[in-house]
Amino acid sequence: MGQRSVIAVGGSTGAVEGLKTLCAGLPPDLAAAVLVVLHVGADGRNLLAGILDGLCPLRVETAADGQSVQPGHVYVGPAGHHLLVVDGVVRLGRGPRENMARPAIDPLFRSVAESYGPAAIGVLLSGRLNDGAAGLADLKRCGGVTVVENPLDATVPDMPFGALQASEVDHRASLKNLPSLLATLVGEAPGPRVPVPRRIALEIDIALGRPCLSGTISAMGEPVALACPDGFGPLSDIEADPPPRPHCQVAVDEAIRVALRIVEERAVLIERMAEDARRMNRVKSAGDFDARAGELRGYADVLRGAALGALP
């Protein structure tokens, strides 16, 4: 029946010492890959992998896009990129910040939930605010096992507390007991696969920076009267369990987002005009509107490609 094959770990303020304790206690024959996201600034120096490598019996490295995820390896998310796994391959995303962070923890948890389902384990350590709570709930929804550091022991208990409030977490553990708990969980046979909500795939695409039409995002969440602090695009609150999590509708960085948003909104408007024309049996007008909307979608693709190509 196999066994659980991936452990996703997230943390923020106060989590470095916890990660050191966790990595030092992992067994050298651990038959699972470990992926780690720690909140760091965009200009961070990616020092964490080197620190953990000196303590951990497994190989620890800063994750690189396109790597195959292998058991017995620890992959640490680099600064300025979301860390995700798609079909067993590391993917680094430059989508908008989530919970004011990139890398953020929620995208990692969602991606392992989609790719591994019941074979995934999610672990949330010390940190401020509530990043990781929604992603851990999604991982459990997809059949995975969820673990939080005992908030009574955590340096900063906000994240573990938030996860406990957002879903029924399977285990809470002290840092001292966490390595042995994970080794036990890895050795257990996972349950059956369950359907992955379509929303999770959409949120993964957003974190990766893939094209996501404004209309698609709006259809899955309510617009909120706020603009994305990264690129000033409109935000939508994607419908799911608490906590709320607004998502930018644009998914690329800097000023080109503004132009891209305008073009995409114009395309959505003209597509609606085409639908209205069809309902009124104005076939020629509908065709003209469809052609114009197609042109605008093409312009949007060019803008998106230019923006992504300009990113560091």
15-30: per-residue pLDDT in tens? Answer: 999 999 999 999 999 9
> Is residue 171 located within the same domain as residue 237?
no
Quick one: pLDDT band at residue 303, thresholds 50, 70, 90? Answer: confident
> Is residue 216 located within the same domain as residue 111?
no
Residue 1 in any domain: the answer is no
> Is residue 162 located within the same domain as residue 73?
yes
At 21 the three-state DSSP class reads: helix
Average pLDDT of the segment spanning 259-285: 87
> Is residue 183 located within the same domain as residue 237?
no
Q: How many CB atoms lie within 10 A of CB 133?
A: 30
Residue 192 in any domain: the answer is no
pLDDT at residue number 142: 97
Contact 81, 92 (CB under 8 A): yes
Residue 199 in any domain: the answer is no
Number of structural domains found in the chain = 2
Residue 110 in any domain: the answer is yes
pLDDT at residue number 116: 98
If you average pLDDT over every residue of the chain, what do you get?
Answer: 86
Quick one: pLDDT band at residue 250, thresholds 50, 70, 90? Answer: very low
> Is residue 93 located within the same domain as residue 144?
yes
pLDDT at residue number 232: 45
Task: Choose one of 187, 202, 236: the last residue of a domain.
Answer: 187
pTM of model > 0.85? no
Quick one: pLDDT band at residue 300, thresholds 50, 70, 90? Answer: confident
Task: Choose one of 123, 152, 187: the last residue of a domain.
Answer: 187
Average pLDDT of the segment spanning 184-205: 94
Render pLDDT for 51-63 as a digit per residue (tens, 0 to 9).
999 999 999 999 9
Domain coverage including residue 276: 211-310
Query: Where does the chain have alpha helices with state H?
Result: 15-25, 48-53, 105-116, 133-141, 158-166, 178-187, 198-208, 214-219, 256-279, 283-310
Higher local confidence (pLDDT), 33 or 231 = 33
Quick one: pLDDT band at residue 185, thresholds 50, 70, 90? Answer: very high
Residue 203 in any domain: the answer is no
Quick one: pLDDT band at residue 12, thresholds 50, 70, 90? Answer: very high
C-alpha to C-alpha distances, 193 to 121, 142, 143, 196, 236, nearest whole angstrom: 14, 7, 7, 9, 30
Quick one: pLDDT band at residue 248, thresholds 50, 70, 90? Answer: low
Residue 131 in any domain: the answer is yes
Spatial neighbors of 123 by CB under 8 A, at least 6 apart, are 7, 8, 9, 10, 22, 147, 148, 149, 178, 182
- DSSP letter (8 states) at residue 82: E
Render pLDDT for 64-100 as a digit per residue (tens, 0 to 9).
999 999 999 999 999 999 999 999 999 999 888 888 8
> Is residue 229 located within the same domain as residue 114?
no
Cα 58 to Cα 27: distance, rounded to the nearest angstrom: 8
> Is residue 159 located within the same domain as residue 68?
yes
Residue 204 in any domain: the answer is no
Catalytic positions are 12, 39, 131
Residue 206 in any domain: the answer is no
pLDDT at residue number 99: 85
> Is residue 241 located within the same domain as residue 160?
no
Asked which of 121-125, 150-154, 266-270 is least confident by mean pLDDT, the reply is 266-270
3-state SS string for 88-148: CEEEEECCCCECCECCCHHHHHHHHHHHHHHHEEEEECCCCCCCCHHHHHHHHHCCCEEEE
Amino acid (one-letter) located at 141: R
> Is residue 180 located within the same domain as residue 246?
no
Quick one: pLDDT band at residue 231, thresholds 50, 70, 90? Answer: very low
> Is residue 265 located within the same domain as residue 305?
yes
> Is residue 130 located within the same domain as residue 10?
yes
- Residue 164 pLDDT > 60: yes
Render pLDDT for 203-219 as a digit per residue (tens, 0 to 9).
999 899 886 655 555 55
Task: Choose one of 187, 222, 254: the last residue of a domain.
Answer: 187
φ/ψ (deg, to 5) at 188:
-85, 150
> Is residue 224 located within the same domain as residue 183?
no
Average pLDDT of the segment spanning 243-270: 68
In CATH, what number is assigned to the domain containing residue 163? 3.40.50.180
